[in-house]
Amino acid sequence: MDGPPVVALDEVSKSFGAVRALSGVSLRLLPGEAHALLGENGAGKSTLIKTLAGVHRPDAGQVLVDGSAQRFSGPADALAAGIAIIYQEPTLFGDLTVAENVFMGRQPLGFGRRIDVAEMNSRTSELFARLGVKLDPARPARGLSIADQQLVEIAKALSFDARVIVMDEPTAALSAHEVQRLFGVVKALRDQNAAVLFVSHRLDEVFALCQRATVLRDGEFVWSGELSGETPDSLVRRMVGRELSQLFPKEDTTAGDVLLSVRRLTREGVFTDVSFDVRAGEIVALSGLVGAGRSEVARAVFGIDRPDGGSVHVRGKKLKYGSPTAAMAAGIGFVPEDRRQQGLVMDASIERNTALASLGRLSTFGLLRRSSERALAQDWAVKLRLKFAKLSDPVGVLSGGNQQKVVLAKWLARKPSVLIVDEPTRGIDVGTKAEVHRLLSELAGQGVAVLMISSELPEVLGMADRVLVMHEGRLVEELSRADATEERVAMAAAGQVAR
């Protein structure tokens, strides 16, 4: 972890039109270190990564590899210089094998220029062995978990002799177990003297994994140094430039009537016999590993998927199976897991997205009242402190946190009595995260029943009045706020319940 940096950015600036994404940012990556890149959404992390990847060319400043200035004309140049990027959700060729994905376009050739499959598989196995993981090189990539797909990408990076591996929020979609395995892989990479640049919003992971960190705020360099002298609070202060009194401000409320009641809900092969109630003023967290069936339960409650058995009642009234329209009419709002695919129409404007779930009440005889639509969007943009230029801008230009606010606005505009939020703060910055938590707490205070799915234990423990834990499609544990500890939730999620 010493010696000159493998890769460095020196006073790099980059603007897009009038927006200054990076201004005079420096970064030094040392061989054998895991380095955290921190900052709120919109701080310039993505631009920095894309500059390293050769996607963006800096307006000023330099990218240095082994001390010499580089001019990347594209991602291929960056890769040739030893810089590989592992994106949050890798894009593999599903019908090709793992090994074919690793050696895409560079397959080892045998006699008569035929692809030497055996050689390719054994070289892939070697790469996985260096990472300390087991994965069958001959299986097709389709059906691999996101965690395994990332490993394939990392193996591919190694096959290019990459010495700098940038991981852009690699843990966002991983379960706790998979995160541990990824950490092992990062350590293996460090032992081989590679530098890892780790981008994550989860500070506990940063402390567990990284030695040094660089913090950006609003496109500017704020701080870089050893993590040993830092605390999560001190890092958050550097990122947001102000004190955050409390991250999870759920206030105590007295639970009222049962608003949402789910009984023996079953969808074959996905989840079985799920029963629970959510009362007015309560935040109930649905916890568990990714793939335990939490989101699937939410989808069935909202009517996106049709359950095979069981029932959903809102205020004592039974909902029709498989009808989001019926769920909405009964007062359910649903902020889905995948903001880009399910929550928003990315090309459409902020106002159109805000109005999308309220079209009926914004219309007279089917004709849309444009002024009401705009007023609705304006109203909620102010209430949720949305950062935007024009309401007619597409939501795609907003940062992740602000996009999430638009999704929330879309549902809050309907004044739901039951709000289901699936990973409400995934991939959004610390400041907005606190705002979302405050908002959920306020809603509960106003008598809304909130069902929250979250993979982040601190969020679950800080926000929830009750914690329900799912394991392999079944509800295995219910803990009150007082009983819910990180340990008990994690044990239940892993299927270890003392019965």
Partner 1 sequence: MRNLLRWETALVFLLIVVALTGQVSTDGSFLSGGNLFYLGLDIGEIALIALPLTLVIVAGEIDLSVASVLGLSSALIGWLWNAGWSLETILPTVIVVGALCGAVNGLLVTRLGLPSLAVTIGTLALYRGLALVVLGDTAVADFPSSYTEFGTTPLPGTNIPYPILLAAVLAVLFGIALHASSFGRSVYAIGANEEGARFSGIRVKRIKLILFVLAGAVAAIAGIVYTFRFSSARADNGVGLELAVVAAVLLGGVSIFGGKGSLFGVLAGVLLLGGLRNLLILQDTSTEVLTIVTGLLLLVSVLAPSITRRVGTLRKAHT
Residue 324 touching partner 1 (CB under 8 A): yes
Token pair in block for residue 114: 């035929």
Residue 61 touching partner 1 (CB under 8 A): no
* Closer by beta carbon to partner 1, 395 or else 440: 395
Region near partner 1 per CB under 8 A, out of 136-144, 321-329, 468-476, 481-489 = 321-329
Token pair in block for residue 442: 């306020």
Region near partner 1 per CB under 8 A, out of 62-70, 337-345, 374-382, 398-406 = 337-345
Q: Which of 5, 42, 170, 343 binds partner 1 (CB under 8 A)?
A: 343
Region near partner 1 per CB under 8 A, out of 77-85, 188-196, 264-272, 334-342 = 334-342
Under a CB-based contact definition with an 8 Å cutoff, are residues 342 and 299 in contact? no
CB of 52 to partner 1, least distance (A): 18
Q: Which of 27, 189, 259, 328 binds partner 1 (CB under 8 A)?
A: 328
CB of 370 to partner 1, least distance (A): 8
* Closer by beta carbon to partner 1, 261 or else 349: 349
Of residues 152-171, those binding partner 1 (CB under 8 A): none
In 3D space, the residue among 16, 468, 440 whose CA is nearest the CA of residue 219 turns out to be 16
Q: Quote the longest CA-to-CA distance of the chain.
A: 76
Total residue length of the chain? 499
Q: Which of 79, 102, 259, 344 binds partner 1 (CB under 8 A)?
A: 344
Residue 348 touching partner 1 (CB under 8 A): yes
Q: Which of 357, 377, 408, 492 binds partner 1 (CB under 8 A)?
A: 357
Region near partner 1 per CB under 8 A, out of 144-152, 156-164, 277-285, 357-365 = 357-365
Q: Secondary structure of the chain: what % helix, strand, coil (to 5)? A: 35, 25, 40
Residue 352 touching partner 1 (CB under 8 A): yes
Under a CB-based contact definition with an 8 Å cutoff, are residues 44 and 38 in contact? no
Under a CB-based contact definition with an 8 Å cutoff, are residues 474 and 443 in contact? no
Of residues 393-422, those binding partner 1 (CB under 8 A): 410
Under a CB-based contact definition with an 8 Å cutoff, are residues 137 and 99 in contact? yes
Tally of CA atoms within 13 A in the half-sphere of 3 that contains its CB? 12
Residue 281 touching partner 1 (CB under 8 A): no
* Closer by beta carbon to partner 1, 68 or else 364: 364
Residue 362 touching partner 1 (CB under 8 A): yes
* Closer by beta carbon to partner 1, 149 or else 358: 358
Residue 391 touching partner 1 (CB under 8 A): no
CB of 336 to partner 1, least distance (A): 5
* Closer by beta carbon to partner 1, 5 or else 336: 336
DSSP helix/strand/coil, 237: helix
Q: Which of 336, 400, 424, 427 binds partner 1 (CB under 8 A)?
A: 336
Region near partner 1 per CB under 8 A, out of 211-219, 306-314, 350-358, 485-493 = 350-358
- CA 90 vs. chain centroid, Å, equals 13
Q: What is the DSSP letter of 396?
A: G
Token pair in block for residue 415: 């004044």
Residue for token pair 């907005």 = 432
Residue 342 touching partner 1 (CB under 8 A): yes
Residue 346 touching partner 1 (CB under 8 A): yes
Q: Which of 76, 109, 118, 368 binds partner 1 (CB under 8 A)?
A: 368
Helix residue ranges, H only, 216-280: 232-240
Question: What are the DSSP E strand ranges found in 270-328?
Answer: 271-279, 283-288, 309-314, 317-318
Region near partner 1 per CB under 8 A, out of 44-52, 87-95, 180-188, 348-356 = 348-356
List CB contacts of 239: < 8 A, sequence separation 6 or more: 38, 39, 40, 43, 215, 217, 222, 429, 430
Strands 68-70 and 83-86 come out as unpaired
Residue 345 touching partner 1 (CB under 8 A): yes
Q: How many Å is the Cα radius of gyration of the chain?
A: 24
- Sign of the Cα torsion 255, 259, 264, 267 reads negative
* Closer by beta carbon to partner 1, 189 or else 355: 355
* Closer by beta carbon to partner 1, 39 or else 331: 331
Under a CB-based contact definition with an 8 Å cutoff, are residues 64 and 20 in contact? no
Region near partner 1 per CB under 8 A, out of 33-41, 236-244, 328-336, 383-391 = 328-336
- CA 375 vs. chain centroid, Å, equals 31
| DSSP output for 80-91 | HTTEEEE-SS--
- The pair phi, psi for residue 97, each rounded to 5°, is -75, 170
CB of 1 to partner 1, least distance (A): 37
Q: Which of 91, 228, 254, 341 binds partner 1 (CB under 8 A)?
A: 341
Token pair in block for residue 117: 């499959």
Region near partner 1 per CB under 8 A, out of 100-108, 190-198, 338-346, 485-493 = 338-346
Q: Which of 194, 334, 386, 475 binds partner 1 (CB under 8 A)?
A: 334
* Closer by beta carbon to partner 1, 336 or else 462: 336
In 3D space, the residue among 187, 163, 164, 182 whose CA is nearest the CA of residue 172 turns out to be 182
Under a CB-based contact definition with an 8 Å cutoff, are residues 444 and 250 in contact? yes
Q: Which of 188, 258, 304, 397 binds partner 1 (CB under 8 A)?
A: 304
Binding site for partner 1 (CB under 8 A): 304, 324-325, 327-328, 334, 336, 341-349, 352, 355-357, 359-360, 362-363, 366-368, 392, 410
